[in-house]
Amino acid sequence: MLQQQLTTLLAQTDIALTEKQQQQLVRYVELLNKWNKAYNLTSVRLPEEMMIKHIMDSLVVAPHLPGHHYIDVGTGPGLPGIVLAIALPNTHFVLLDSLGKRVRFLMHVKHELGLDNVTPVQSRVEEYQPSVKLDGVLSRAFASLQDMVDWCSHLIDHSGKFIALKGVFPSEELESLPAGVKFEQKITLEVPNLDAQRHLIILSKD
C-alpha cells in the first residue's frame, strides 16, 4: 500500500530512486508510525499522510544540495535528514537534536536501514562543533531565519550555506536578517498531493 503510494508520488516528480531506496523510505515510514505511538515524534498520525507531508516534502529538496556534508539542526525524527540521506547516499548528514528519545529513534533507523551516511547527535545546536567542514546547515520548521543564523553561524564558514525549508515565502524574516548574512536564492518547491506553499530559502555569509 505505502510502496504503491510512493511510486505514484514519485512519478509526479523528476526524482529517480532505486528500488532499495524506495523500500528504505517505506520502512522509515513504518518505523516512524510505530515509534510515534509511544514517543510522539510527529503530529502526523497516518502513514499515508506521512508519505506526503514528511517524505515527499523532504525529498523535493534533494536536487538542490550540491555538497557532501550537511547538518540537519532540530532534525526531530529525522526530517529532512533521514529522507535526504536515503536519496543521496554519497552525502553525509549529521542529525542534530537535543531530545534523547528522538536521537534513540534515529540510531534505531540508522541501524535498521543500514544508513552509513548519517550521524545522529544529541546536543544543543549552540554547543555542537562539527568535525569536518560543512557545506550547509539544513533546517525544517526549526526556527526563524534570524534564530537559525544566530544559532548556527559557527557551523559553517564563508563557503557554506544556510538552507531553510519554509512554507509561505518568509518576507518579514528576510527583511530582519542580521548583518553579515545575505539572501542568496529562493526555490519554489512542488510537493505532489500537498496543497500548500513550499519554499527553499538559501542564505550565505556576506
Residue 58 one-letter amino acid:
S
Please state whether beta strands 161-166 and 136-140 pair in parallel, antiparallel, or not at all (unpaired): parallel
Is 67 known to sit in a ligand binding site?
A: no
79 is in an annotated binding site: yes
Q: Quote the DSSP letter at residue 177.
A: P
The values of phi and psi at residue 112, to 5°, are -65, -40
How far apart CA 97 and CA 76 sit, in angstroms, is: 6
Distance CA 26, CA 1 (A): 10
DSSP E strand boundaries for the chain:
69-73, 92-97, 118-122, 136-140, 161-166, 181-188, 199-205
CA R_g for the chain: 16
Residue with the three cell numbers 500500500: 1
Tell me which residue of 137, 143, 188, 185 sits closest to 162, measured CA to CA.
137
Asked if residue 74 belongs to a known ligand binding site, the reply is yes
Residues in binding site for S-adenosyl-L-methionine: 74, 79, 125-126, 140
Residues in binding site: 74, 79, 125-126, 140
